[in-house]
Structure 1
Amino acid sequence: MKTIERINSKVAILLCLSLMMISTLSYAQQTKSTLFKKADQAMLDAKFAQADLLVPDEYNKGIENYRQAEKHFADQKGVEKIEESLVEAVNHFNRAVTFSVSAKSVFASSLDARSDALLAGADRSALETWKEAEEVFNKATRELEKGDRDDSYKYATEAIELYRKAELTSIKTDLLDKTRALLTKADDTNVDRNAPKTLKKAESLLAATERELETNRYDMDYPRTLAKQAKYEASHAIELDKTISKMDDRDMEMEDVILQYELPLIRIAEKAGFVAQFQNGIENPEQGIIKHISELQIDNNRLNAENIARDNEIRDLKTTIDLLKNENLLLRTEFDNEVKERSDSMKSKMLEFETEKARLDAKIEKQTKLNQQFEEVYLIFDKSEASVFRSGDEIVIRLHGFGFATGKSEITPTNFDLLTKVQNAIKIFPESSVIVEGYTDSFGGDASNLMLSQKRSDAVTQYLNANSDTEEDSRISSVGYGEINPVANNETAEGRKQNRRIDVKIQPQM
């Protein structure tokens, strides 16, 4: 009996020690989370700004101080030592974020080339050239950190060449090799007996891709698109051969084939809410489906814009309410504790509170007015002419119905009515700044696209100023961005059409 009691006593002691250890570890983890919270956020902000790529020295100093703080915490050096290292880490991370903003504009072309190379899989298919490009780009960023813009530009230019070379190698070894393999498979299985046209199209696209890759190394968008189309058509030919062979095996008549391929359109039309009828061919069902999809896209864009506007408004109001609640609670607490000795000081603080409240009330009033003005602008345009949405306090008018002739920047009479509506929208926001932004698709050289987008934005700005009945020249400016910031897929004709656009941004004076 005594032996059992001694065993139970030991078990109880071990259990208590285990619970104490778990409690201590949990407390330590909570303490670390509190101490490191600001530094953790600063590190995330730096990574989001690509500081590890664009400002490596400053970012790495932040990492070193952060690791030092972790070591101090593990060694129980004391809060002061830990906080000292964390403050240094936060300072380095914040400086890296600030420097990243300017570095992104300096290295815009290099980052585009790097992104294109990654998209082509160069970090896998052209590993050696990719590594060399990364090393040279790292030199460029370090030289810019040191303030040597000349050497930085030299290395950045060299990095662009290497990234483009890696992208070219990757396209050749990845997309083209896979396409050649598919064509070999098609040849082995005699696909040309049933799908000769599609197979020939794939072969022609492959040849065109190879020519483009050899003659134009500075614009990979077009050859990349050709390569993907070639690969698709090769796969398409193989699948067509399989399908036609099955039809032959089943002795299907042409009427059976057509009826079978009408079925998907019938099912899609049912979902779109109408009956597909083919007495006049396939055109009517096709147009009905396209119209339904277009209407859904326009409604979706409008709903997204409205949701963004509402979310911004709700967030601003919640922030305002929280600020007022916190300020009010602080003032009441201080007033209760110090009313006898610091009545004059408290009156001053209450006055500051009322002033701040009045300022925030005015801001809410301005936001309400801005919402009303946005609604007025939104109602000016038809869905087919423009999308109107908010980006923060900015009003963005994305002109769908505005088009330039290929390679041209002249305003034509067909656009006068739409530009008049833009002028009416601008008048709703007196004393605002207005920026006319021009964009192109990705086909063509970067430099020529940038120049064309600038000419187009200048043309729109000059027209707005020339036809305005007020002195608005000082507040309307223009900028061309070329092919950057696409809003749709550049690999489709519809996507490229959407990317060739004019954005008018109204920046109200808040």
Structure 2
Amino acid sequence: MFNYILVSLRILITSLVLMFFTSSACAMSMDDVEQRMGEAEQLRAAEFSPEHYGEAKESLVDAKKYIQMGKNDKARKALDKSANELEQAILAVQTMSSKFSGLVESRDRMQMTDASYLRDDLVLRAEQDFNRVVKYVEDGNMERAKERAKFALQTLRSAQVVSLRKQFVRPVVLKVAAGRKLKAREYAPKATATAVRLRKEVEHLVKSSPDKQVKMHALAQQGQAKAERAIEVAKLGRKMREDPSMVETLRDAEENRLNALGKQLGINLSGAHSAEQQALLLQQAVLAMQKTYQKQLQDSDKVIASLNAKMGIYEGDLASMNELRRKLQLKRDAEAKIERLTKLFNPDDVEILLTPDADVILRMKRLNFRSGSAVIPPNTYAMIDSAVQSILMFSDRSIRVEGHTDSAGGNLYNQALSERRSDAVKAYLMAKLEESRTIESVGFGEEKPIANNETLQGREKNRRIDIVLLAPRS
């Protein structure tokens, strides 16, 4: 009987302790520590502060055990230790991501590279050097960390150079070599020369700036395209040499194309005896149309000026109406283009939004940067290329790239991170678009959430890049 009562008392005491830790101020501490643990995991504490993070996890497990055993004081000490280790871990993470961002991002690029492009020995050395830097940061020895970071960066860049040559230089080299076998230099000298020049530019970037992978990617694509064009022209040239009658076939096809164009312009090209005469007639027709339109525009301007003079008293109302009409037209035009844009994107990857001011937002939902990093994952290049195609449809709009983060990590940390990420996407777009396009980048940090930062799903939504196509302002 006595034993039964003793067991019952122990169960009661354990229950009371559990209630104490799950419903009191201490429970808040437990909840806070667990939430902080999740934040540390999201910030990659296991990579950037493995000792502090490991100690924090062990202490949290101990705290839960002590609660079960009814050892209140020990549970409190273990919980306090876990919280303290977590704070040190997060501090070390932020130090790595801010003070050694170049090193972190070089390592991220290496890790995101297809393993077939990498040399195992260089990868192993790079990881060892990186881990030494992490150890010095955890120990608070910043001088040694900075010294070791230089060696680590050199090792990482050696690994990068090997992989980048395989990724970006070799494909262009192979295409140019294939064209050489077909005598592409003879049949398509311009395209071949351009492909060779672009290959040299990529090679130079690999040696001098291995971190500029986005630009290498763009140049390599252009180089391959030029080499493929040279191959296509060379194949056509060889066929024409083997079958000279193809020249006449091609000439007839070109003549039919010009006649069709002339028909659309309302002129008869049958009297022209050469391609040069046909082109001249077409040019004259276009110039005549331009003069007609210019005359009509001048007449319209006079009518409009007259009406404006008569209706000056209504100027304010008309200005407001015109502005509303202008915005409405911009929205209608944007809606029509957005309908076509939806075919370019998987809705799970990109969300397309239209604002009241007719700005178009391309929300890159699957452009998932690694925590603390501004390296664009290579598997998202195709998605951003689709965004480039969308931008080309809005040729009269300037572009603003906006970087947003969740609330993990602190305001200053997130602000700097969002700026680096928006700058990275801006650099990608600039490599793909004409220099005349106006592109700005801005980071908003955690200031403009679109979901609840208290949930995992909400934080994931808040970590985003928005590409905003700004409607022309009046």
Query: TM-score when scaled to structure 1?
Result: 0.42
Higher relative contact order (CA 8 A, sep 6+): 2
